[in-house]
Amino acid sequence: MFKRVVFGATLALFLIAMLALAFNAHPVKAQDDLLLEMEVDKTVITVGESIGITLTLINVGTDNITITYGPPFFDVGYCTFEGCFGWSDGKYFIQIVLEFTLKPGENYSETLQWDLYQYRDGKYYPPRLGTCYLMGFCPFSKTLIPPYVMVRVVEPKPLVLQPDKDIYLLDEAVNFTLTNISNETIHFGGWPFCEVYIWPSGELVAPEAIVYLAWSLDPGQSESWTWNSTETGLYVAKDIYGYDCTEFFKIRSTTVSATSDINGDGKVDIEDICTVAYAFGSYLGHSRWNPFTDTNRDYTINILDISRVAKDYGKTV
């Protein structure tokens, strides 16, 4: 355990030093009273997928802090054996000097979208598969302690599993479609291609059995399977072949409050409010993430989701 801690600390210091050198950071006044924080909207991405990185600079002191800088205000980078790479690499910024003041307790935030592509020799190259240690920093400072997060880059899934809707009525047929989005034919053994579980208990409800059946999907080809729901609730469908294709859906007895009725009991009450409030601030991959509280499908539980549920509070059949 001690060796792991030492290694982690050494790696963090090495990356901080490499990033400071690679991105030519400069000092800024009153560093001890500034705190830099970073959050990401997902910790696992596929090659080509962008990640939202929110950086926040906070004045934790008791005096006003005036900052003079040239764009960009924030940057993000990571280092590999091939070199150090940043969000701003290959981008052009207006060369002007800007200035603003942070009062005590005030903060300034920006969200950067980045697919982690590496800019080298005038071209962009995809990131390597594996774990990246993303460092956030302000280019005008070399003394701010940069926060870092671990992001894992994985291969794109060759299959897409989709129900035809997000919400179904009791006894309504749920139609699932499995699509091959890769460039190669994929061969399978077993039918149907997915299983349905109660969420979050994980109790298997369908199918009753998997039948061995050799079949395949050519690039762009799809196959469908239909399941008839018998109980209301929250469900998750997963493919049976180990591709980690997962989709969530609801079954309810009425059409009222399609998205605000979080637990699918036909009414919007305090239980729905508490559920979305508990998930507030979470995102896809977070420990408190609940897909049914994401009412607008932006993969982040924020004030928009709470507002929608609150607006429908008290609605019933």
Q: How far apart are the C-alpha atoms of 155 and 133, rounded to whole Å?
A: 18
For residue 294, is pLDDT > 60? yes
Q: How far apart are the C-alpha atoms of 55 and 77, rounded to whole Å?
A: 12
What are the φ and ψ backbone dihedral angles of 270, each rounded to 5 degrees?
Answer: -65, -30
Q: Is 86 helix (H, G, I), strand (E, B) or coil?
A: strand
* pLDDT score, position 260: 79
Q: How far apart are the C-alpha atoms of 310 and 295, rounded to whole Å?
A: 12
Q: Is 42 helix (H, G, I), strand (E, B) or coil?
A: coil
Give the pLDDT confidence of 142-151 residue by residue, as tens digits: 778 778 888 8
Going by pLDDT thresholds of 50, 70 and 90, the confidence category of residue 286 is: confident
For the sheet containing 204-206, what is the strand order? 167-169, 246-252, 233-239, 194-198, 204-206
Helix axes 270-279, 303-311, angle to 10 degrees: 180
Domains detected in the chain: 2-154 (2.60.40.10), 157-253 (2.60.40.1930), 266-317 (1.10.1330.10)
274 to each of 72, 200, 263, how far by Cα in Å?
Answer: 39, 16, 11
Give me 12's structure tokens.
């963090």
Going by pLDDT thresholds of 50, 70 and 90, the confidence category of residue 27 is: very low
Spatial neighbors of 312 by CB under 8 A, at least 6 apart, are 257, 260, 261, 268
Q: How far apart are the C-alpha atoms of 312 and 317, rounded to whole Å?
A: 12
Helices (H), 150-205: none
Q: How far apart are the C-alpha atoms of 255 and 145, rounded to whole Å?
A: 51
For residue 34, is pLDDT > 50? yes
Give the pLDDT confidence of 197-229 residue by residue, as tens digits: 998 888 999 998 889 888 999 999 999 999 988
Average pLDDT over residues 229-254: 85
Going by pLDDT thresholds of 50, 70 and 90, the confidence category of residue 248 is: confident
> Number of helices and strands (H, E) in the chain?
3, 22
In our burial notation (b when 16+ CB lie closer than 10 A, e otherwise), range 277-293 reads: bebeebbeebeeebbbb
193 or 170, greater pLDDT: 193
Average pLDDT over residues 124-147: 86
175 contacts 237 by C-beta, under 8 angstroms: no
Q: Read off the DSSP letter of residue 292.
A: G
For residue 40, is pLDDT > 60? yes
Going by pLDDT thresholds of 50, 70 and 90, the confidence category of residue 9 is: very low
Average pLDDT, the chain: 82
Specify the amino acid at residue 257.
S
For residue 2, is pLDDT > 60? no
138 contacts 69 by C-beta, under 8 angstroms: yes
